[in-house]
Amino acid sequence: MLLWKTNNKQMEVPMSLAETGPQDLPQIDFDQYARLSLCHQPTPIEPMVRLSEHLGGPSLFIKRDDCTGLASGGNKTRKLEFLVGDALSQNADMLVTQGAIQSNHVRQTAAAACRAGMKCHALLERRVPDRAADYENTGNVLLDKVFGATMEFRPAGLDMNAEALAVTEKLRSEGHRPYFIPGGGSNAIGALGYASCAQEIANQSQASGTEFQWLVMATGSTGTQAGLVAGFHAIGFDLPVMGVSVRQPRERQVEAVLGLTKKTLEKLEAPAIAASKILVDDGYVGEGYGIPAPSTLEAISLAARYEGILLDPVYSAKGMAGLAGLIRQGFFKPSDNVLFLHTGGSVALFAYEDVILNSDV
Ligand SMILES: *Cc1c(COP(=O)(O)O)cnc(C)c1O
């Protein structure tokens, strides 16, 4: 049973998603954690027939977490089910979080706050240099305003979680009941959202009889990869996850993902994991976070022209560039089934109009 609740109302509804999966696959009871229903789930897994043929490698599939439903979708919604559930259980009346200017996380948090009957306050970091004049008004920022979030801006390079915590305490002293959500919703509570996605993928794989040999995805604040790796490990489902870094070198990203994977496994009361299970490719970052490389723009074009799918220039297109690059390097076997996790973000395309119009996309 999943709860739909706000500060004032609570309603129990039967879940359409089967609560018991196939007989021989262990099922984690995610409803033992406070949770607010925000997502369309399960999200579909679809074959990418034309892109597979074009790239000439393994069979490609896509897990449509751009279709989670809330505020045009994306991976943060799964994390927010548990984070907002926790906030409601603490009687909070406001969500406080932070992100880069064009943060998909802030947009989904602002919408989740509306669903829960809470306010949302966000700190936005001017992390990406040399952007067009309307970067702070369009795309995700426009939607943050539509959802009624209040915002304040910060220069690049500060410890943004520390900044947001300080603002949280100030708001508390003014009589609000704020709940702090770290950047990207990436702590052990948020990562439960992707442990539950791991369970969902395992169930879909088994129910459809399609075995995947690899999962490829974009990795940033780490909660998505950590949650997936922890979830697969906890149920003993053997699907290696390749994170394509969108912002930092491999060693640092591996360390960050491993740290959160361990905390998430503790929360799931699951056995520890070997560090060698955390896989990251840092070959597609380009000049840095939020700066599309030529391979990023090519990936936007590939997904659009072959599959009618919108990627975003900050995250999912770097992930797709990684997938295409790995295929071209001969990383996969031709007989492999490779699952790409679409983490959403296409709203940010509108904030990169200048880059896209001046490219071959
Ligand atoms: C946040 C985000 C990611 C990265 O997820 P993390 O959990 O932060 O690593 C990937 N894609 C999109 C579209 C995102 O918004």
CB-based contacts of 233, cutoff 8 Å, min separation 6: 261, 265, 270, 271, 273, 277
pLDDT of res. 359: 92
The residue-averaged pLDDT of 4-23 equals: 47
Choosing from 62, 64, 76 the residue with most ligand 1 atoms within 8 A of its CB, the one to mutate for a pocket test is 76
Residue 356 CB neighbour total at 10 angstroms:
16
Q: Whose CA is nearest to atom 1 of ligand 1?
A: 184
Give me ligand 1 centre to Cα 67, in Å: 14
pLDDT band at 9 (very low <50, low <70, confident <90, very high): low
- Tell me the domain boundaries of the chain: 15-72+187-357, 76-185
Determine whether domain 15-72+187-357 maps to CATH 3.30.590.20: no
Ramachandran sector of residue 261 (left: φ over 0; alpha: ψ -120 to 50; beta: rest): alpha
**Confidence at residue 342, expressed as pLDDT on a 0 to 100 scale:** 98
Residue 179 token pair: 């709940």
Give pLDDT, residue 24. 82
Nearest CA to ligand 1 atom 8: 221
pLDDT of residue 361: 83
Length of the chain: 361
Ligand 1 atom at shortest distance from the alpha carbon of 227: 7
Catalytic site residue 103?
yes
Q: What is the pLDDT of residue 195?
A: 98
Residue 55, judged by CB atoms within 10 A of its CB (0-12, 13-18, 19+), counts as middle
Cα 194 from Cα 197, distance rounded (Å): 5
What integer is the mean pLDDT of 335-350?
98
The backbone torsions φ and ψ at residue 156, rounded to the nearest 5 degrees and listed phi first, read: -70, 150
DSSP string, 2-32: EEEE-SS-EEEE--SS-SS--TTS----GGG
Q: What is the pLDDT of residue 178?
A: 99
- Torsion angle defined by CA atoms of residues 350, 100, 245 and 319, in that order, rounded to the nearest 10 degrees: -20
Ligand 1 atom with minimal separation from the 218 CA: 10
Which atom from ligand 1 is nearest to the alpha carbon of 190?
A: 7
- Top pLDDT among 18 and 59 is at 59
State yes or no: pLDDT of 2 exceeds 70. no
Report pLDDT digits (tens) over 311-333. 999 999 999 999 999 999 999 99
For residue 109, pLDDT beyond 80: yes
Residue 5 has pLDDT above 80, yes or no: no
The DSSP code sequence of 326-347 is: HHHTT-S-TT-EEEEEE---GG
The number of angstroms, rounded, from the C-alpha of 112 to the middle of its chain's C-alpha atoms is: 15
Average pLDDT in the 43-65 region?
A: 97
Does residue 334 have a cis bond before it (omega within 30 degrees)? no
Q: State yes or no: pLDDT of 305 exceeds 90.
A: yes
**CATH label, 76-185, candidates 3.30.420.10, 3.40.50.1100, 3.20.20.70, 1.10.287.130:** 3.40.50.1100
Q: Which of 143, 224, 248, 254 to mutate to test the pocket of ligand 1 (most atoms within 8 A of CB)?
A: 224
Residue 18 binned pLDDT confidence (cut-offs 50, 70, 90):
very low
| Residue 53: pLDDT over 60 | yes
Ligand 1 centroid distance, CA of 299 (Å): 16
The whole-number average pLDDT for the span 247-252 is 98
**Residue ranges lining ligand 1, Cβ < 6 Å:** 74-75, 104-105, 184, 186, 218-225, 312, 315-316, 343-345
User: What is the whole-number distance in angstroms between the Cα of residue 218 and the centre of ligand 1?
Assistant: 7
Average pLDDT over residues 219-240: 98
Mean pLDDT, the chain, as a whole number?
94
Catalytic residue among 52, 72, 103, 186: 103
Please state, in angstroms and rounded to a whole number, the distance separating the CA atoms of residues 29 and 315. Answer: 30
pTM as predicted = 0.94
Nearest atom within ligand 1 for CA of residue 219: 9
Fold match between 15-72+187-357 and 76-185?
A: yes
